[in-house]
Structure 1
Amino acid sequence: MPVANPSHEVSVEIDGHIATVEMHRPPHNFFDVDLVRAIADAYHALDAEPGVRAIILAAEGRSFCAGAALGGDPAPDDEAEAPALTGNPHLYAQGARMMEAETPVVAAVQGAAIGGGLGLALTADFRVAAPEARFASNFARLGFHHGFGLTVTLPRLVGEQRALDLLYTGRRVRAEEALEMGLCDALVPLDELRDKAREMAQEIAESAPLAVRSIRKTMRRGLADAFRLATDHEQVEQDWLRQTNDFREGVRAMAERRTPDFTAT
């Protein structure tokens, strides 16, 4: 059953006890503050729906979310974080609102989750991935500092050492490795992705809803506050790095599809 949508770029549909919140910015679902706000609004509206016990976060197109909006039309194969638009305090405030929502979320990751898109995926309780999925915190490759709360969410899932590996190198992680390290919780063929996400959501929905929310509140206690503190610091670091030659070189190299020549200036 479709419900009133918070945005034409975010749809909400309720089927039984499960709601699907879907992003509609294909092919890569680059985000901005409006898109993140619409997702947060949808989550909080669904918290108030007594019949909704679990949410599936999904995306239309080839990528789950390939980072922040570039402000123009990206090239067809462009899947890179747009660092000039990260560090937005309003965007991060909406991300924190997502973290404050009460209903469990299963993300269905069909393709790239890159930069801030990785941060978006990690706000969910669980992630189901297709073999086509890949995950990367590519900020350091752009001369930039990571954002969207990855300071908190990434080591919470994969541990400090693996988080440092991903943050320092910016390397891409294929779905099989993501499953092994804990970035995703299930790996299924692309044509089974939504069904598997629904299966996981249905298992949650079959438990007592008040108990599930109580357990989730306990297990995620302080996470939204930690997210806010982390993004405050991430923004400070992003602000000064944005003024460096390395940042400018990283952005140029990304646009020109070449290896950057960083100078530590």
Structure 2
Amino acid sequence: MSDIILGRDGKVATIRLARPPHNFFDAAMLGGIADALAQTDADPTLVVTLLTAEGRSFCAGANFAGGFAANGTSANTVYSQAKRIFARTKPLIAAVGGPAVGGGLGLAVAADFRVASPSARFHCNFSTIGLHPGFALTTTLPALVGAQKALDIMLTGRRIGGEEAVAMGLADRLSGPDSLNEDAMAFAQSLAGQAPLAIRSIRDALPHVSVAAAEAAMAAEEVQQTSLFLSADFHEGIKASSERRLPRFEGR
């Protein structure tokens, strides 16, 4: 795929999202990421994968304003590919610079580790557009930061900067202001230098969230999202977002 660029640096596989400026995803793009992770899993000479992005955003999620459903993409098709991302067997590090929004936050949180730049913005924006969270965030986010902080992040829809993300456990490393990819690669190389069989066995023993739990979360999220897609509030939320104004929700 032209918007997924694969590479390697020694024992580190690299996946770069190349759909700038915001790297909005669809099922095909997530499928490309899942395919790349499957290749990494199948290659015994690779130990760790580093996920980076071009443009202003790490990933701004699904482009609802740009015809998310019109192109044959739905929550079901997206989550069928997301399940494959969760099912990988080797560590994944996300290098997050700029916004990680909605499903893009879900993608970042699906990784085993996150390296954030000071300019990173972790944004669980679902409440601000009238939608239920997705991409297993109802399970993965509480597992990282605790139920109370996750509730705060989800209900307020506030943006979490890189420094705060590290302080609350949403990110694992803070990079220099201009060295995100270099710092993330250094972290990846440090992991890749460890014993591969031990790395895998430790990851299996201490999963961030199990594949079964992620799949169950997405199944429940899809039910809620399918209902809310039909609400007037969701349509108002998307319209307000595209018009860069505060939404006028009516609870219907």
TM range (shorter): over 0.9
Q: Return the alpha-carbon distance in structure 2 between the equivalents of residues 96 and 245 of structure 1.
A: 30
Local SS of the residue matching 1:21: strand
90, 110, 135: which is aligned to 1:123? Answer: 110
Local SS of the residue matching 1:191: coil
Native 8 Å contact 1:30 1:70 kept in 2: no
The normalised TM-score by structure 2 is 0.94
Runs of 4+ in 1 over 2 A off after TM superposition: 69-73, 82-87
Aligned pair 1:35/2:33, yes or no? no
Native 8 Å contact 1:87 1:239 kept in 2: no
Q: Return the alpha-carbon distance in structure 2 between the equivalents of residues 70 and 189 of structure 1.
A: 33
Match of 1:17 in 2: 11
Aligned pair 1:177/2:164, yes or no? yes
Aligned pair 1:232/2:219, yes or no? yes
40, 46, 51: which is aligned to 1:52? Answer: 46
Local SS of the residue matching 1:14: strand
Native 8 Å contact 2:122 2:159 kept in 1: yes
69, 87, 94: which is aligned to 1:107? Answer: 94
Q: Return the alpha-carbon distance in structure 1 between the equivalents of residues 111 and 240 of structure 2.
A: 32
Q: Return the alpha-carbon distance in structure 1 between the equivalents of residues 182 and 219 of structure 2.
A: 37
Amino acid aligned to 1:238: Q
Native 8 Å contact 1:87 1:234 kept in 2: no
Q: Return the alpha-carbon distance in structure 2 between the equivalents of residues 83 and 255 of structure 1.
A: 16
Match of 2:127 in 1: 140
Q: Return the alpha-carbon distance in structure 2 between the equivalents of residues 162 and 65 of structure 1.
A: 22
Native 8 Å contact 1:84 1:242 kept in 2: no
Which runs of 5 or more structure 1 residues have no equivalent in the other structure? 1-6, 74-81
The normalised TM-score by structure 1 is 0.90
Give RMSD over aligned pairs.
Answer: 1.9
How much has 1:242 moved relative to structure 2? 1.3
Native 8 Å contact 2:5 2:16 kept in 1: yes
Local SS of the residue matching 2:45: coil
Q: Return the alpha-carbon distance in structure 1 between the equivalents of residues 243 and 193 of structure 2.
A: 50
Native 8 Å contact 2:6 2:36 kept in 1: yes
Between stretches 83-92 and 205-214, larger displacement belongs to 83-92
Amino acid aligned to 2:59: C
Alignment length, in residue pairs?
251
How much has 1:234 moved relative to structure 2? 0.5
Amino acid aligned to 2:99: A
**Percent identity over paired residues:** 47
How much has 1:211 moved relative to structure 2? 1.1
Match of 1:202 in 2: 189
Aligned pair 1:242/2:236, yes or no? no
In structure 2, relative to structure 1, the CA distance for the partners of 1:64 and 1:143 (3 Å cut) is same
